[in-house]
Structures are given as C-alpha cells and as structure tokens.
Amino acid sequence: MCRFFRYNGEREEIAAMLHEETGLWEKGYSRIAGVDEVGRGCLFGDVVAAAVIMPQGLILEGVDDSKKLSEKKREELYDVIMKEAIAVGIGTIDVKTIDEINIKQASRLAMKLAVEQLDPAPDFLLVDAEQVDLDIRQMAIIHGDATSQSIAAASIIAKVTRDRMCREWDKLHPEYGIAKHKGYATRQHREMLIEYGPTPLHRKLFIRNVMVMQQELF
C-alpha cells in the first residue's frame, strides 16, 4: 500500500522530493503543477503528457520517476495520485501531428494541453527538462521526474495513461507486441517492422532510419 503524510520537517530522504516545491510554497505559490511526458522516443503511437497539482505539504511515499517503478507500483500510485491531487490534466498528440511538427514540438504541445486542462489553474510549473508555451512562471529541471514529487507524479500519470493506450493498440496490431515494448525500438519491434511493414500508428520520421539500419543487419 502507498502511504502519504504531511511534511513536517522530518523524514528528510522522502521530503527531498519536495525540495523545489517547498521553496516555492515559501515564496507564496500555492498551486504548483508538475509536468512531464512519455513516449517521446517511441516509434509507435501518441506522445502523452500529464500535469499534476498536489496539495501543499503532502508527501506520497514511493513516488519516483515512473521508469524506475514496476507496472504494479505505477498503477497503485496512479490511483492514489488521482484521488489526492488538486487537479490532473492529460494531453495527447497523435502520430499525424508528430510527423507534421516533429516530436520535440509535439511533446511541448502535449504538455501545454495537459496544463490547460488543470482546474484550478496553476500559478507555477515544474517541468521535466522542457519549456511549456504558456504565460505561467515555470522552471525546467533536468531529471525532474527523479527529484521533484510533482513532476514524478505527472510522470506516473502519463506513463500509466500511455501504457493503457498501448494495450488497446495491441488489440489492433497484435503481431507487433505493442503491449510488451510500448512502441519503443526493441529488437522484436524492429524485426516486426521489417516483416510486416509500418502501420498507420508508426511514426514515419522515426522508423525510416530504424528500418534501414535493421535491413543492413541481414
């Protein structure tokens, strides 16, 4: 089970994940949103971003970069975050748009859409290594999903959301193993691309070089 409690200056190791948030609360910001995305490096499917505002001083034990957590733990924390958060927003950008505007711009647009869904609106953004195109004060933090609880919470929401989408995509294209590798360029995925060719949900700009490289191996 996930435990949560109010920050009171103790439990320093866990409270370290609130270092940035604590400094901002002390400056008078009260609705701090963590923002992160998943699926940026995939060959297949949408890019998904999430924005999360957690209550001031609330510590969720176990929250961390979603990539470091088991699927079971992510699902457990997803439910806790959705229950305890002041607001959660999710933004998705489809493959057609990714191919049109490039993945960097698509990721930033997904983040913008996620933030725009928040109600109440945030007064400060903590963003994982990116800039959100909104007139809201913000800070980009390298590896923020491993150092900020707010960003880590957004990472978990985005990851679980996209993984669930992958399970649905897998039903449409079961031969590719999307539910297993989540659209990343694993050996299995590359081999299936060579055997079956790309689907409409594959990112054309991403798979072009991958397929050339894979063919050179045979």
Q: What is the mean pLDDT of the chain?
A: 91
Point out the annotated binding site for a divalent metal cation.
36-37, 128
Give SS3 for 148.
coil
Contacts of 55 (CB under 8 A, 6+ apart): 84, 85, 86
Q: Where are the beta strands (DSSP E) in the chain?
A: 4-6, 32-38, 47-53, 58-60, 87-93, 124-128, 138-141
**Around Cβ 217, how many Cβ atoms within 10 Å?**
9
In angstroms, the CA 138 to CA 21 distance is: 12
Cα–Cα distance, 206 to 44 (Å, whole number): 9
pTM, full prediction: 0.91
83 with 110: CB under 8 angstroms? no
Residues with Cβ within 8 Å of residue 180, at least 6 apart in sequence: 188
* CA distance to 46, 61, 78, 201, 213, per residue, from 56 (Å): 32, 15, 18, 40, 49
CA distance 81 to 86: 9
- Count of alpha carbons within 13 angstroms of residue 154, beta-carbon side: 36
Between strands 4-6 and 47-53, the pairing is unpaired
Please tell me which residue, 209 or 91, carries the higher pLDDT value. Answer: 91
Measured between its terminal Cα atoms, the distance across the chain in Å is 48
In a domain, 201, yes or no: yes
Instruction: Of 126, 96, 131, 128, give the one whose Cα is nearest residue 31.
Output: 126
11 vs 211, higher pLDDT: 211
Has residue 3 been placed in a domain?
no
The amino acid at 5: F
Residue 2 lies in a domain: no
Q: Is residue 96 in some structural domain?
A: yes
Identify whether 1 is part of a domain. Answer: no
Considering only residues 133 and 214, tell me which one the structure prediction assigns the higher pLDDT: 133
For the segment 158-171, what is each residue's pLDDT rounded down to a tens digit? 999 999 999 999 99
* Number of domains the chain contains: 1
More confident residue, 5 or 88: 88
With b for 16 or more beta-carbon neighbours within 10 A and e for fewer, the 54-64 pattern comes to: bebebbbebbb
pLDDT digits (tens, 9 = 90+) for 48-83: 999 999 999 899 989 988 999 999 999 999 999 999
Q: Is residue 49 part of a domain?
A: yes
Binding-site residue numbers are 36-37, 128
**In the predicted structure, residue 12 carries a pLDDT above the cut 50:** yes
Q: Is residue 154 part of a domain?
A: yes
Quick: pLDDT tens for 173-218: 999 999 999 999 999 999 999 899 999 999 998 887 676 665 554 4
> What's the domain range around 165?
9-216
Residue 73 is assigned to a structural domain of this protein: yes
